[in-house]
Amino acid sequence: MNMKNNLPKIAIVGYGSMGKEIEKSALAKGFQISNIFEIDKQIDANQNYDFDVAIDFSFPDSVLENVRSLSKLKKNIVLATTGWKKHEETIKRIVSDNDIGLVYGSNFSVGMNILFGIVENASQMLNNHPDYDISINEIHHTRKKDSPSGTALSLADIILKQLHRKNKILDDTSRGTIPGDALHVTSARVGDITGTHTVYIDSIADTIELTHRAKNRSGFAQGALLAAEWIYGKKGYFDFRDVLNNIWKKD
The single-letter DSSP state of residue 7 is B
Q: Which residues of 11-38 are buried (b: 16+ CB within 10 A; e: fewer)?
A: bbbbbeebbbbbbebbeeeebbebbbbe
The answer for residues whose C-beta is within 8 angstroms of residue 214's C-beta and 6 or more apart is 109, 112, 194, 195, 196, 220
State the Cα–Cα distance between residues 61 and 84, nearest whole angstrom.
Answer: 7
Query: Backbone dihedral region of 38: left (phi > 0), alpha (psi from -120 to 50 degrees) or beta?
Result: beta
Catalytic amino acids?
140, 144
CB 165 within 8 A of CB 180: yes
State the Cα–Cα distance between residues 45 and 235, nearest whole angstrom.
Answer: 19
What length is written for the chain? 251
